[in-house]
Amino acid sequence: MIKLKNITKIYPGMERPAVKNLNLHIKKGEICVFVGPSGCGKTTTLKMINRLIEPTSGELYINGKNAMEQNPDKLRQNIGYVIQQVGLFPHMTVYENIATVPRLLEWSEDKIAKRVDELLELVGLDPDENRYKYPRELSGGQKQRVGVARAMAADPPIMLMDEPFGAVDPITRTQLQNEFLKLQRKIKKTICFVTHDIDEAIKMGDRIAIMNNGQLVQYDTPSNILFAPKDKFVEDFVGSDRALKVLNLLRVNKVMRKEVPTVKLEMDSKDVIQRITDSGQKYILVLDNKERLIGYVNKNSIIESNEKTNWAKYIKEYSSTLPMDATLKDALAEMLQNDVAVIPITNDDEFVGTVTLGDIRSYVGESYKNGDESENRLVI
Amino acid sequence: MEANLFLKFVKVIKTEAGSLIVRHLQLVFISVTIAILIAVPSGILLTRPRFKSWSSKTMTFFNVAQGLPSLAVVAIFLPIMGIGFLPSIIALTVYALLPILRNTIAGINSINPDIIESARGMGMPSQKVLFSIEIPLALPVIIAGIQTSAVVTVGTAVIADLIGGGGLGRLIFTGISMFDPVKILAGSILAAIIAIAIDQGFDLVHKKVLTPYKGVRK
């Protein structure tokens, strides 16, 4: 979709190139995150893709066509562009802001009106409430949403985003990130995303391009970046707590134990005690006949009670469960907060398995050994 | 005695002031309009990348020129242009240029570069960026420059009478040569009123017309 070949940018009067011999291939429908310290050339690279900055040398192909031979304005009209400070036009309403590119493309006003409403809905803003507002009447998060809507107005196949969530508070940022990922699953754009935040890169990226001093250091999937950093720079940039970052990347369903001993409500206490004994644990999880988790019982409380059938009153509720697409970080946080070592996992209320502290530890440890054999850096 | 002076004041205003006010307004209106027509386009030109390097030199020149007393400017034009209405207009125009030019340049340069960048990033041709983004956003500052220029010109136009421009200056200078304080006062007060009226008029424009660019919604 986007191909950069030997792209170099040297600013006049500067000795060191801002970007040097960059080769990169961004696949259709993927989010490619450019990340690196300030001055590494990530923003310059992004702006060379829509030729806001002209490369000194090299070739740029977008959708198979040589972008250097196209009219830059025409090229940009087909590439969505979102920047950190949003850059909404303060003297225009939300409607007029979003209508910018459609108007350049001379759409009919009917079509534009429909598109504006559709986009506002898509980014989670009520069209009737917000259509005629001016940017100063919007909160930071709302502005950013309008910025994204404006970039998508003419449905460009490619979007360039320069620290789009950098200027909002952390809570709004997380919210916007999640919404954007959800949106991306629907719209499947090819996205170039610049950030200096490695956590954001790991969260948002299908692929991460780590840059330093104008050069591409590693271009890889988030898990390869974390498990197999190419050199010391990547390793340092990812941070000494990269094992913790892995937790953010992995979903509980990767680690989950599916064959977990459980008991059903209708069993009698003898069978329940037998099951617990077999499992070697002190307690067991209790499900109802629709496989929904009710809680757990301790072996001792049933034995002490001496009752044959009515063991159900000793069931204790479970303090927390997690859905299957929760991350290992979520699971670990739950464990620490509730002082438990096991978290049941559910899928639409149905119990599907458990995640234990030990499982997380060994899974992350394994991944490390496979990825990087030289050292064994287990932080957890 | 005092009532007598007042009667004389009213008489001066009734008999002499009418045509002089009209002439004074003509001087101000024509010279400021010409100044706008020259300063706004050149100000815009001086913010374009190609001419940007000239902008500081131009501003230095005009700042120095503005430092000259208005009397000197009028005097400089006297041997070149002779006397009359036209030389007065030219002298006043030159004097009115600077505030407009300065504010046009400042207004456009003060626009947040992110806004321009996002406009260009969306593929807006540079001409459209200028007319639908830069000029509208710089407009309040440009108009403030015109306001300053117009108010200053009302005062400068008084001196234009020295080179035969007419206007309220005639009342004042006649008063000076005839030791007639009533005429001096009448000319000065009328000029002040015109200046205040123009100033207030522009404030109204700022409030009513330019609100979408400023704070409150229309």
Residue-wise pLDDT tens digits, A15-52? 888 998 999 999 999 999 999 998 898 999 999 999 99
Biggest alpha carbon distance in chain B? 75
Predicted local distance difference test score (pLDDT) of residue A331 = 87
Predicted local distance difference test score (pLDDT) of residue B213 = 55
Predicted local distance difference test score (pLDDT) of residue B218 = 31
**Do A278 and A289 meet the contact criterion of CB atoms below 8 Å apart?**
no
Q: Which residue of B has its CA nearest to A103?
A: B124
- From the list B115, B215, B217, the residue facing A89 with the nearest CB is B115
Question: Sign of torsion, CA A12 A17 A21 A23?
Answer: negative
Report the range of poorest mean pLDDT among A31-35, A373-377, B8-12, B84-88: A373-377
Which amino acid is it at B162?
L
Confidence of residue B185 (pLDDT cuts 50, 70, 90): confident
Residue-wise pLDDT tens digits, B72-103? 877 777 888 788 888 888 888 888 888 999 99
Q: Which of residues 138-157 of A touch B (CB under 8 A)?
A: 147, 150-151
Predicted local distance difference test score (pLDDT) of residue A372 = 47
A100/B124 Cβ within 8 A: yes
Q: Which chain A positions have a beta carbon within 8 Å of B128's beta carbon?
A: 104
- ipTM of the modeled complex: 0.78
C-alpha to C-alpha distance for A240 and B47, rounded to whole angstroms: 48
**Full-model pTM:** 0.75
Higher confidence at residue B125 or residue B59? B125
Predicted local distance difference test score (pLDDT) of residue A370 = 62
Residue-wise pLDDT tens digits, A204-230? 889 999 999 989 999 998 888 888 888
What is the rounded average pLDDT of the residues A193-202? 89
A52/B137 Cβ within 8 A: no
Residue-wise pLDDT tens digits, A73-122? 999 999 999 988 778 999 999 999 999 999 999 999 999 999 999 999 98
Predicted local distance difference test score (pLDDT) of residue B22 = 87
Q: Which chain B positions have a beta carbon within 8 Å of A89's beta carbon?
A: 115, 119, 133, 137
B18 pLDDT exceeds 60? yes
Instruction: Determine how many CB atoms are found less than 10 A away from the CB of residue A90.
Output: 18
Give the B-side interface with A, CB within 8 Å.
112, 114-115, 117-125, 128, 133, 136-137, 212-213, 215, 217
A52/B123 Cβ within 8 A: no
B114/A86 Cβ within 8 A: yes
Assess A77–B contact: CB distance below 8 Å, yes or no.
yes
Candidates B53, B112, B115, B122, partner chain A, best to mutate (most A CBs within 10 A): B122
Predicted local distance difference test score (pLDDT) of residue A309 = 61
Measured in angstroms, the CA of B97 and the nearest CA of chain A are apart by 27
Helix, strand, coil percent content, chain B, rounded in steps of 5: 85, 0, 15
**Do A314 and A302 meet the contact criterion of CB atoms below 8 Å apart?**
yes
